[in-house]
């Protein structure tokens, strides 16, 4: 019988994953298939966190109910802070507010405008018909993301692989990293709070920041009403986790955990991530607004 009550402490948890993607954004599995995979891997508590959309949540919820899995409606929202693209996981235990619905519609429009700009910039380096090619790679009408353009670059032989596509053309600070369309960090936190949700700073270690700058980001995030950050995202070094725990603890932020799973066959799977050693950071599921989810 799987554990349906989540433990009081972060290091004691298993069968939980609060960061995963489906075909509603840049994931490979349909929401239903993702939930089925979670079930087969012993995940009992999950959040579907597609980029800037809740489009997969209905299908995922239906599947989760069939498997007896607790599922939090959620989205990973793109934002900007001091010229950087920052991701915020909005955990929405009671679903989106009107403000959030409007905001997600605006995010979808921002993605359309942004993909045109990315296409323009990639055409300048030799990827003809970039938008059409990215759309082919997406294989559906969902909003495009940088991975679609990365695949198009590989397919066209401009770069040998995805890693190179990001490293040379699409990663932070490269010409295809278009962020002008995203709202400010404080705005996405506001929408989350207006939805009775909890704003979680996604993967704080993956923005290429120094420890000091990461501290400033965490300060800004907390000041704006953000209440949690991902203490573990996928696989990371244990010393780094301990140090990040200190930074969360100093600011009274709750800690969250997620794989950031996108597709099977890689090194990540739902529910798979580095363990947390003993620390004082409270798990995000102990947040009062997530009481029902924790069981
Ligand atoms: P976007 O939401 O359009 O800004 O695209 C960001 C997404 O690109 C991330 O959520 C990842 O799925 C993917 N991504 C970012 N960096 C890399 C990388 N170095 N290699 C492969 N995929 C990446
Ligand atoms: Mn992604
Ligand atoms: Mn992200
Ligand atoms: Mn993600």
Per-residue confidence in pLDDT tens, the chain, 295 aa? 455 789 999 999 999 999 999 999 999 999 999 999 999 999 999 999 999 999 999 999 999 999 999 999 999 999 999 999 999 999 999 999 999 999 999 999 999 999 999 999 999 999 999 999 999 999 999 999 999 999 999 999 999 999 999 999 999 889 999 987 899 999 999 999 999 999 999 999 999 999 999 999 999 999 999 999 999 999 999 999 999 999 999 999 999 999 999 999 999 999 999 999 899 999 999 999 999 999 8
Question: Is the minimum distance from the CB of 182 to ligand 1 under 6 angstroms?
Answer: no
Short-list 89, 88, 95, CA closest to 73: 95
- For the domain spanning 10-105+183-294, the CATH number is 3.20.20.140
What is the 8 CA–ligand 1 centroid distance (Å)? 33
**Nearest protein CA to atom 6 of ligand 1, as residue:** 146
Structural domain boundaries in the chain: 10-105+183-294, 112-170
**Which ligand 1 atom is nearest residue 52's CA?**
2
- The answer to whether the beta carbons of residues 120 and 136 sit under 8 Å apart is no
Question: Is the minimum distance from the CB of 262 to ligand 1 under 6 angstroms?
Answer: yes
Can you give the pLDDT at residue 4? Answer: 77
User: In DSSP terms, which residues pair with 95 in a beta bridge?
Assistant: none
Can you give the pLDDT at residue 3? Answer: 53
Q: Which CATH architecture has domain 112-170?
A: Orthogonal Bundle (1.10)
What is the 98 CA–ligand 2 centroid distance (Å)? 25
Residue 48 CB-density burial (10 A; 0-12 exposed, 13-18 middle, 19+ buried): buried
């Amino acid at each position: 019988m799987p554990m349906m009550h989540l433990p009081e402490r972060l290091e004691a948890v298993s069968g939980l994953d609060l960061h995963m993607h489906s075909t509603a954004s840049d994931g490979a599995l349909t929401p239903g298939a993702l939930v089925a995979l979670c079930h087969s891997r012993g995940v009992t508590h999950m959040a579907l966190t597609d980029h800037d959309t809740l489009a997969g949540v209905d299908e995922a919820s239906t599947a989760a109910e069939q498997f007896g899995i607790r599922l939090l409606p959620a989205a990973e929202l793109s934002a900007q802070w001091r010229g950087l693209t920052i991701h915020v996981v909005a955990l929405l235990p009671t679903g989106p507010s009107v403000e959030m619905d409007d905001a997600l519609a605006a995010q979808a429009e921002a993605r359309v405008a942004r993909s045109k700009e990315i296409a323009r910039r990639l055409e300048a380096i030799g990827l003809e018909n970039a938008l059409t090619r990215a759309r082919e790679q997406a294989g559906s009408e969902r909003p495009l993301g940088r991975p679609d353009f990365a695949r198009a670059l590989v397919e066209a032989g401009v770069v040998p692989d995805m890693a190179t596509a990001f490293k040379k053309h699409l990663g932070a600070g490269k010409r295809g990293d278009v962020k002008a369309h995203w709202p400010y960090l404080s705005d996405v936190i506001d929408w989350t709070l207006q939805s009775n949700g909890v704003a979680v700073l996604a993967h704080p270690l993956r923005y290429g920041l120094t420890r000091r700058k990461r501290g400033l980001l965490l300060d800004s995030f907390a000041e704006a009403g953000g209440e949690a950050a991902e203490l573990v995202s996928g696989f990371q070094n244990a010393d780094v986790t301990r140090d990040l725990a200190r930074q969360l603890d100093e600011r009274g932020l709750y800690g969250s955990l997620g794989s950031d799973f996108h597709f099977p066959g890689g090194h990540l799977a739902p529910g798979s991530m580095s363990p947390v050693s003993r620390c004082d950071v409270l798990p995000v599921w102990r947040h009062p607004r997530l009481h029902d989810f924790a069981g």
